[in-house]
């Protein structure tokens, strides 16, 4: 169903070698999720 260009796009579907080197964030607790969300919103709202 997906277009061929999407299926072949490595940013959507990285190969196994790339997957070995990716960083994965573990689930944050509520405190850190709130801090992250606040900082992300500040970045999005106030960047020039």
Q: Is residue 12 part of a domain?
A: no
What is the structure's pLDDT at 25?
77
The tens digit of pLDDT for each residue in 11-36 reads 889 999 999 998 887 788 999 999 99
Q: Is residue 42 part of a domain?
A: yes
- Which DSSP letter does residue 27 get? P
Q: Is residue 7 part of a domain?
A: no
Q: Is residue 28 part of a domain?
A: yes
State the pTM of this model.
0.42
- The domain tally of the chain equals 1
What is the structure's pLDDT at 48?
61
Q: Is residue 9 part of a domain?
A: no
Q: Is residue 3 part of a domain?
A: no
What is the structure's pLDDT at 1?
86
The tens digit of pLDDT for each residue in 31-45 reads 999 999 999 999 989
Please give the residue that has the higher pLDDT: either 26 or 3: 3
Q: Is residue 10 part of a domain?
A: no
């Amino acid at each position: 169903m997906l277009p061929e260009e999407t299926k072949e796009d490595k940013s959507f579907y990285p190969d196994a070698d790339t997957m070995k080197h990716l960083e994965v964030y573990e689930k944050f607790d509520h405190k850190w999720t709130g801090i992250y969300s606040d900082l992300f919103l500040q970045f999005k709202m106030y960047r020039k």
